């Protein structure tokens, strides 16, 4: 089973890019982020025509996440537990049954957190605490679990072109990286790093300052696996070429293959 994550940076603006990639890559499950639309405006038709079931947690203009699956989506839940007053559409979770196996998948759009001297950074760290608490609960189910999405976290200096330029950015702050390690240390596996040791493989290139042409990127999109999923890990990679297409997202898809039969 191929499970992917893709921050599309506006589903309306990137629909052709998305459907072209879906046809080429043929993922079984896709976690989307930054839809920038309400549920009713999600383009169900073109995606369902490709054989996908769709679950959406949308929001006008900002945020928005979705799960696409070639298999039925069950037990869909929207929103990250722990703060009933948080109305940001940043989390959706579902269970997928296929070939006699079950996998739980979440699509995550973790807050950016900049500027770091504002409440936005406090919100980011608090959101990460909630994610850690929820992941701990999900891991107690002892089932294949994939937490996929745009984490807005640069884990190490190997995941950024120019570390010095990001020292004071919320994506690379010590507090952010420490929370990410705390999440990983619950028993999760970074699928890409389990398959690739080489430095400077990225999932995001800014639109500004010729970042794409210079390969001035960062790796902030991650697929984290429970031990039960990690045992099934076959491959993981980044579809870098998608960034070079017309009117691309500033992110590219990242995916994992699990041997679910």
Q: Are 7 and 17 in contact (CB under 8 A)?
A: no
- Residue 52 bears catalytic tag: no
150 annotated to bind ligand: yes
* DSSP assignments along 26-75, one per residue: --SEEEEE---S-GGGS-HHHHHTTT-EEEEE--SSS--EEEEESS-EEE
34 annotated to bind ligand: yes
The vertex-6 CA angle with 258 and 138, nearest 5°, equals 55
Residue in 150, 169, 190, 221 annotated catalytic: 150
251 annotated to bind ligand: yes
Q: Could you give phi then psi for residue 78, rounded to 5 degrees? A: -120, 130
- Residue 44 bears catalytic tag: no
Q: How many CA atoms lie within 13 A of 113 on its CB side?
A: 26
Residue tagged 């169900």 (tokens): 44
Residue in 109, 159, 169, 190 annotated catalytic: 109
- Residue 150 bears catalytic tag: yes
49 annotated to bind ligand: no
Per the annotation, binding residues for Mg(2+) are: 7, 34, 150, 152, 250-251
Q: Show which residues are catalytic.
A: 109, 150, 251
Per the annotation, binding residues are: 7, 34, 150, 152, 250-251
């Amino acid at each position: 089973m191929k499970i992917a994550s893709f921050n599309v940076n506006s589903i309306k603006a990137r629909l052709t890019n998305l459907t072209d990639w879906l046809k080429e890559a043929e993922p079984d499950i896709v976690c989307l982020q930054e839809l920038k639309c309400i549920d009713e405006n999600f383009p169900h038709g073109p995606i369902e025509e490709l054989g996908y079931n769709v679950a959406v947690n949308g929001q006008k203009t900002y945020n928005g996440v979705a799960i696409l699956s070639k298999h039925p989506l069950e037990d869909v839940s929207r929103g990250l537990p722990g703060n009933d007053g948080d109305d940001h559409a940043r989390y959706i979770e579902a269970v997928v049954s296929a070939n006699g196996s079950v996998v739980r998948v979440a699509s995550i759009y973790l807050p950016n957190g900049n500027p770091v001297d504002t409440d936005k950074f406090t919100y980011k760290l608090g959101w990460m605490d909630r994610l850690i608490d929820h992941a701990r609960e999900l891991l107690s189910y002892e089932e294949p679990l994939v937490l996929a999405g745009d984490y807005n976290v640069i884990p190490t200096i190997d995941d950024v072109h120019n570390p010095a330029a990001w020292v004071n950015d919320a994506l690379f702050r010590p507090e952010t990286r420490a929370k990410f390690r705390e999440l990983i240390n619950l028993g999760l596996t970074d699928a890409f790093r389990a398959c690739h040791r080489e430095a400077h493989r990225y999932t995001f290139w800014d639109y500004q300052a010729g970042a794409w042409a210079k390969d001035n990127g960062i790796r902030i999109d991650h697929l984290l696996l429970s031990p039960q999923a990690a045992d099934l890990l076959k491959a993981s990679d980044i579809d870098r070429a998608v960034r070079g297409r017309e009117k691309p997202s500033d992110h590219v898809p990242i995916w994992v293959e699990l041997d679910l039969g």
